[in-house]
């Protein structure tokens, strides 16, 4: 089939989002129960007041993880958590999961048990039921496809396309750590390959290693907002870097934004590692992926409720569309936010 193609467009000519947009642009939803389809963190299903959220994420060996430094149990945990994060980013509660795993005969039963034990640990912690799946062989490599279903009251769903002009832009936790953890692991892998007797130098970097190897989904933030009666006007999880995610909110809400560089929360370990790699920590936060923090907007009227909450930082505000998507640098100059996500920095396609 492939040899006979008249025209050949390389996958790399599209980014991940461009490709998904391209392949799904003609979809028209037919069922009354299909409330929202492609284009948010999760799909919304169900005509009643109690609705369901559905999300699917793939984790592919050699693309999303490297078996040389990714412990199998962590891999399972992470594969589960990244899906929980998508449900949580809609303000929902993850409840059920199906697991698809395809592994080559390089993997033993014990190896699959390790992956499953990580998935089950995450399900225990986030109170999610594994209800089905498929386990099969592959010719090479390991491939994990997880689908998570969540519950939510119709009135509480938070979409990406509902931010309002002048809303405050907030993030949970800190950013860029997972990416610096990845760079550290990649460096130690190269060192090890050059000289297998070298011991990896990982001490003191637990924080960023944990961010990369064992991320958490911020259910606690959802609960914190609810406890403080703060209803986000829009929300998304930060899987591909702050820049990529805020641009999703801007595009879908038909608005612009101003993000203040000096407000972006970055952990001190992330900063020092970035300096070691001669990378601007702001770039790591903007374009490094896999932090799985929440990015959300709130009405200015909620400022007093949020300003003293630990773990939440106000980093800017939404503007009209004509103002564009801007980063206000430490020196006060306004720079257009670049579309680069984690994919672009790394090895997508």
Answer for which of 141, 161, 252, 340 binds a second copy (CB under 8 A) is: 141
**Total Cβ atoms within 10 A of residue 302:** 20
d(CA 73, CA 15): 30
Query: Closest approach of Cβ 33 to a second copy, in Å?
Result: 6
Among 89, 90, 145, 171, binds a second copy (CB under 8 A): 145
**Among 121, 125, 133, 164, which residue sits at the site for a second copy (rule: CB under 8 A)?**
133
Query: Which helix H or strand E contains 272, and what residues bound it?
Result: helix 268-276
* Residue 12 vs 331, nearer CB to a second copy: 12
Q: Does 129 bind a second copy (CB under 8 A)?
A: yes
Question: Which lies closer to a second copy via its Cβ, residue 124 or residue 308?
Answer: 124
Using CB under 8 A, which of 85, 91, 95, 267 touches a second copy?
A: 95
Which region, judged by CB under 8 A, interacts with a second copy, from 104-112, 181-189, 226-234, 324-332?
104-112
| Minimum separation from the CB atom of position 181 to a second copy (A) | 18
Cβ density class 156-180: b for 16+ within 10 Å, e for less:
ebbbbebbeeebbbbbbbbbbbbbb
Q: Does 103 bind a second copy (CB under 8 A)?
A: yes
- Binding window for a second copy (CB under 8 A); candidates: 56-64, 164-172, 205-213, 287-295: 56-64
- 167 or 237, CB closer to a second copy? 237
Joined together, the tokens standing for residue 202 give: 């990982």
Rounded least distance, CB 118 to a second copy, Å: 12
- CA separation, residue 63 to residues 13, 39, 112, 150, 224 (Å): 17, 23, 19, 27, 34
Report if residue 4 touches a second copy, rule: CB under 8 A: no
Determine the Cα–Cα distance for residues 98 and 322; give it in Å rounded to an integer. Answer: 43
Please calculate the CA angle 66-148-86 and round it to the nearest 5 degrees.
75
Interface residue with a second copy, options 51, 72, 92, 169 (CB under 8 A):
72
User: Of the candidates 143, 159, 205, 292, which one interacts with a second copy according to CB under 8 A?
Assistant: 143
State whether residue 306 is helix, strand or coil: helix
Q: 3-state class of 171 per DSSP? A: strand
127 binds a second copy (CB under 8 A): yes
Beta strands in 270-324 (DSSP E): 293-298, 312-319
Which residues are paired to 294 by β-bridges?
237
At closest approach, how far in Å is the CB of 105 from a second copy?
Answer: 6
Question: Which residue among 200, 300, 307, 348 contacts a second copy (CB under 8 A)?
Answer: 348
Smaller CB separation from a second copy, 51 or 234? 51
Closer Cβ to a second copy, 127 or 300, answer by number: 127
How many CA atoms lie within 13 Å of 303's alpha carbon, on the beta-carbon side? 9
């Amino acid at each position: 089939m492939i040899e006979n193609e008249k025209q050949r467009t390389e996958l790399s000519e599209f980014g991940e989002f461009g490709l998904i947009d391209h392949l799904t642009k003609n979809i028209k939803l037919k069922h009354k129960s299909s409330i929202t389809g492609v284009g948010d963190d999760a799909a919304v299903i169900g005509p009643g007041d109690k609705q369901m959220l559905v999300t699917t994420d793939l984790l592919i060996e050699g693309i999303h993880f490297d078996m040389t430094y990714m412990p199998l149990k962590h891999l399972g945990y992470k594969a589960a958590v990244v899906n929980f994060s998508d449900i949580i980013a809609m303000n929902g509660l993850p409840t059920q999961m199906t697991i698809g795993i395809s592994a080559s005969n390089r993997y033993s039963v014990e190896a699959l048990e390790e992956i499953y034990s990580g998935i089950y640990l995450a399900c225990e912690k986030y109170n999610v039921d594994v209800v089905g799946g498929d386990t099969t062989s592959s010719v090479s490599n390991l491939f994990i496809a997880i689908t998570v279903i969540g519950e939510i009251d119709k009135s509480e769903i938070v979409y990406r396309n509902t931010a309002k002009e002048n809303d405050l832009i907030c993030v949970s936790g800190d950013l860029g750590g997972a990416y610096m953890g990845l760079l550290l692991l990649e460096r130690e892998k190269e060192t090890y390959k050059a000289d297998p007797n070298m011991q990896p130098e990982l001490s003191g970097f637990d924080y960023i290693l944990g961010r990369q190897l064992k991320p958490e989904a911020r259910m606690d933030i959802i609960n914190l907002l609810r406890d403080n009666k703060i209803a986000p006007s829009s929300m998304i999880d930060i899987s591909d870097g702050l820049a990529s995610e805020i641009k999703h909110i801007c595009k879908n809400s038909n608005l612009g934004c101003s993000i203040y560089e000096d407000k972006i929360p970055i952990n001190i370990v992330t900063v020092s590692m970035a300096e070691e790699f001669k990378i601007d920590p702001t770039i790591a936060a903007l374009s490094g992926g896999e932090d799985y923090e929440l990015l959300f907007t709130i009405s200015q009227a909620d400022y007093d409720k949020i300003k003293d909450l630990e773990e939440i930082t106000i980093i800017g505000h939404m503007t009209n569309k004509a103002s564009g998507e801007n980063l206000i640098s430490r020196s006060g100059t306004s720079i257009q936010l670049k579309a680069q996500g984690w994919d672009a920095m790394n090895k997508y396609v």
